[in-house]
Amino acid sequence: MFEDAIGNLSNKVKNTVERGAVRKFADAIGDAHPIFVDEEAGKTSRYGRNIAPPTFPRVFDYGEIAGLELPNKGLIHGEQIYHYERPLLVGEDIHCWTEVKDYKEKAGKSGTMGILSLEGKGEDQGGNLVFRAEQVVIITEAVRRGMEA
């Protein structure tokens, strides 16, 4: 059902690695380490600033992709990969967008499932790629039927 969306890109969205958001996120995963949350520790670190945890890009806005309207319920997250050129720095702006890399349907025991592969990217103010985020989402038969109804 999303075959036609393969190759579609979202618009680019500016996101800021906000200090408060990083603190809240680090706390929510039980990892409020000084490298993430203590300003002095950040200054004296090899990065010269606080950094964000590697799964922090989950909070970014990646824009809207034409032809890809996903339900907000019932999706299964199958796989997640992050590739970093360097860690995210607290306070910097990151421009994010996403692309539909692939969509397949596969017959299984509980009906046909859709397998959607998305790739998000984030680049810094200088236009340098900072990270790529690949994601595989499983769309079950029940969810697909709900969307067609």
Residues 76-95 that bind another protein (CB under 8 A): 76-84, 86-87
Residues near 2 by Cβ (< 8 Å), separated by ≥ 6? 67, 68, 100, 103, 114, 116
Q: Does 51 bind another protein (CB under 8 A)?
A: yes
- What is the nearest approach in angstroms of another protein to the Cβ of residue 66? 22
- What is the nearest approach in angstroms of another protein to the Cβ of residue 82? 5
Query: For residues 75 and 82, what is the distance between their CA atoms, to the nearest angstrom?
Result: 20
Query: For residues 129 and 122, what is the distance between their CA atoms, to the nearest angstrom?
Result: 6
Q: Which residues bind another protein (CB under 8 A)?
A: 21, 24-25, 27-31, 33, 35-36, 45-47, 51, 53-55, 58-59, 72-84, 86-87
